[in-house]
Structure 1
Amino acid sequence: MMEKVKVGIVGLGRLGRRHAENLAFRIPNCELLAVCSVNAEEVEQVQHDWNIKYGYTDFDRMLENKELDAIFISSPSGFHCEQIQKALNAGFHVFCEKPLGLYLEEALLVQEVVRKHKDKVFMIGFMRRYDKSYAYAKKKIEEGKIGEPILIRCYSLDPAKAIRGFMQFAKSNYSGGLFLDMAIHDLDLARWYLGAEAKQVWAVGGAYAHPEFRELNDAETGAVLVKFENDKIGIFVAGRNCAHGYHIETEIIGTKGTLRIGTIPEKNMVTVFDENGAIKECSDGFLERFEQAYLSEAEEFISCIRENRQPKVTVEDGVISTALGYACKKSFETGELVNVESLMNTVASS
């Protein structure tokens, strides 16, 4: 068994820096040996503050470092497809944040490359599967606690106070839009919990408080109705303008019961009593709400490398969830009902 897995990370933005910190300080048998970013100041600061041996502003140069065992990709979504291919072809194990790419064609290309490198660990960052509450709900479903799961309802709402920072990201053309960037986590959970694949998708949405979303051909708030196999149902709401904070909520309805996760997006177990009443403060954002899950998924990636096994989250999960997100995007843009299987076949044959 490998003693220490030596990792290089690309992308040092908000999430990338959290991943880098976990790899550097919180995961046994892991060494963050190299960091890479197009921002030279970010690289220099992290190297200096954390005593990281290698720093790069060129991803290809980092791949020439033979001391590394694995590459952790947390760059903007538009770079994922190319960087996954290059890293696998250079002989590295690869972790990549969602999505696999901004287009279904890219996701299918990644799948092909991953399948050619079966000796390498590949993992996609669907971190909610590693959140303790979400994992507990999955266990309850497998135990038959709610009977056969037949409907899932998901809310993914970003805090309104983060809208200005997000608009800069959206204008870079690397977000992929509301459904591929945000709802993809819920779409993955739906497949995981329902044990079924999507058949048809209808998506609606608009720009309400922030008309600039319309100029980007994107939705500020959107909703999706999905028909899954065996007539199972998915209802998804995603938005960028949540006044009370970061609200991630999931409900799974079964033939014998219901599970709800995150109904009140509590920051912690504290209730504040003041002139405003009894207040339960809400999470500020994804880094706070899923702090444990981001660490757990990185721990799993390192364990898979050391134990020579593949993670339960596969490249196929990434492809199918991307196809579903892309179907939502197409339905929103055209106003039409989209058949997911036909979309997949059309893209695969083109």
Structure 2
Amino acid sequence: MEKIRIGSVGLGRLGLRHAENVASKIPGASLHALCDLDEDLLARTADRLGVPWRYTDFDQMIQNSEIDAVVLVSPSGLHTGQIEAALKAGKHVFTEKPLGVTVEECKVAERAVEAHPDRVFMIGFMRRFDESYMYAHEKVMRGEIGKPVLFRSYSQDPESCIEGAIKYAGHSGGQFLDMAVHDIDLARWFVGSEPQNVYAIGGCYAHPEFGQYNDGDNVSCLMKFQNDTMVFLFAGRTAPHGYNVETEIIGTTGILRIASVPQKNMVEVLDSYGVRRECSDNFLDRFESSYVREIQEFVDCIREGRKPSVSVYDGTKCTEIAYRCKEAFETGQLLEF
């Protein structure tokens, strides 16, 4: 089978990484088109990666019959409309999270996917494609730690990135949708159940700017899932040490911890400060291989005529849960699902 010809949309940090991966690291795929509003960035990137088609208009790009699939790394508010348009144009679709910035938008995406069952649709919950998380998930599924009792997951961005977070806060959907959505997805994946109730707390401990959006710079929630598993999630913007994602699953006969020390690699530095391990600087560093692996899965599904394990309904469910967490945070009440 010939290579899947991909058009990638958006050249921000993650969009650029996806474009580079498709261009050089995904067997069975070729980067056939790029789309971005910044014409200079578009031209430079397309020239560097050898991309023949360049667009500043998404609707024009998806009319190109030489493109088989699109990778959407556009602003969150554009996802639903672009998903719908691309599927209607006969393209397979991979979209970064969130599926939509409202539950209503997610339902629109669901209907679009249902209307085109011959197309492959996949949402980018990349942590499911991280080697450590995949390994731990297999152990849980095999019952090696017994029945899960508690799922705990932290996502922390470095304080050094706070200006970008504040700038984006007005249309991020809040901490639970913007950051904790990955932890929500992991909880559902590991626990194999859905939330029953949620209580959330947090605040603006260092940056009051988030308060105008009824949000915090550090937030947390405790959920009880329908199978009685306890789920605790924390999302913070002020980590002094760097980017940090860690997870723990406590079972009746064992415990799994993933990245409890957020080390960049296996190197230990011995210098005038003592002995230390350096941390990852950002999400692109920490989940470098995961971003390759998820796009490879998308391409393989197209080539093999199968559907990904991550579906449009996972995107909707995580958005629903994130907004319920946000409502619990805003009201200070224990809320049922």
**TM-score bucket (shorter structure):** over 0.9
Candidates 284, 291, 295, aligned match of 2:292: 295
Deviates more, 1:122-131 or 1:329-338: 329-338
Distance, in Å, in 2 between the alignment partners of 1:54 and 1:195 is: 43
Distance, in Å, in 2 between the alignment partners of 1:141 and 1:308 is: 29
Q: Residues 77 and 176 of structure 1 are in contact (CA less than 8 Å); yes or no, is this contact kept in structure 2?
A: no
Candidates 198, 201, 206, aligned match of 1:204: 201
- The code of the aligned residue for 1:249 comes to E
Runs of 4+ in 1 over 6 A off after TM superposition: none
Secondary structure of 1:259's partner? strand
Structure 2: tracts of 5 or more residues without a match = none
Return the offset for 1:170.
2.2
Identity of aligned residues (%): 52
- Report the counterpart of residue 134 of structure 1 in structure 2: 133
Distance, in Å, in 2 between the alignment partners of 1:67 and 1:339 is: 48
Deviates more, 1:125-134 or 1:23-32: 23-32
- The code of the aligned residue for 1:323 comes to E
- The answer on 1:170 being equivalent to 2:169 is yes
Return the offset for 1:143.
1.6
- The code of the aligned residue for 2:156 comes to L
Superposition pairs of residues 30-179 of structure 1, within 5 angstroms: 30-171=29-170, 173=171, 175-179=172-176
Secondary structure of 1:199's partner? strand
Candidates 220, 225, 231, aligned match of 1:223: 220
Secondary structure of 1:269's partner? coil
Distance, in Å, in 2 between the alignment partners of 1:149 and 1:117 is: 37
- Report the counterpart of residue 21 of structure 2 in structure 1: 22
- The code of the aligned residue for 1:55 comes to R
C-alpha distance after superposition, 1:50-102 (max 9, x if no partner): 12101111111111111000010011111111111111111110000011011
C-alpha distance after superposition, 1:240-263 (max 9, x if no partner): 100011110000011111100010
Deviates more, 1:25-34 or 1:210-219: 210-219
Structure 1: tracts of 5 or more residues without a match = 341-350
Deviates more, 1:119-128 or 1:43-52: 43-52
- The answer on 1:253 being equivalent to 2:245 is no
Return the offset for 1:327.
0.8
Deviates more, 1:127-136 or 1:37-46: 37-46
Candidates 185, 190, 195, aligned match of 2:192: 195
- Report the counterpart of residue 229 of structure 2 in structure 1: 232
Secondary structure of 1:107's partner? helix
Return the offset for 1:150.
2.1
- The code of the aligned residue for 2:309 comes to K
- The answer on 1:182 being equivalent to 2:179 is yes
Return the offset for 1:277.
1.0
C-alpha distance after superposition, 1:278-327 (max 9, x if no partner): 11110101000000000000000000000010011111111111111111
Q: Residues 96 and 125 of structure 1 are in contact (CA less than 8 Å); yes or no, is this contact kept in structure 2?
A: yes
- Report the counterpart of residue 333 of structure 2 in structure 1: 336
- The code of the aligned residue for 1:177 comes to G
Distance, in Å, in 2 between the alignment partners of 1:188 and 1:325 is: 10
- The code of the aligned residue for 2:244 comes to H
- Report the counterpart of residue 9 of structure 1 in structure 2: 8
Return the offset for 1:177.
1.2
Deviates more, 1:17-26 or 1:109-118: 109-118
- The code of the aligned residue for 2:327 comes to K
C-alpha distance after superposition, 1:106-145 (max 9, x if no partner): 1122112111111100000000000000000001111211
- The code of the aligned residue for 2:69 comes to A
Distance, in Å, in 1 between the alignment partners of 2:324 and 2:103 is: 9
Return the offset for 1:272.
0.7
TM-score scaled by length of structure 2 = 0.98
- The code of the aligned residue for 1:86 comes to A
Distance, in Å, in 1 between the alignment partners of 2:121 and 2:247 is: 27
Q: Residues 33 and 54 of structure 1 are in contact (CA less than 8 Å); yes or no, is this contact kept in structure 2?
A: yes
Secondary structure of 1:250's partner? strand
Secondary structure of 2:146's partner? coil
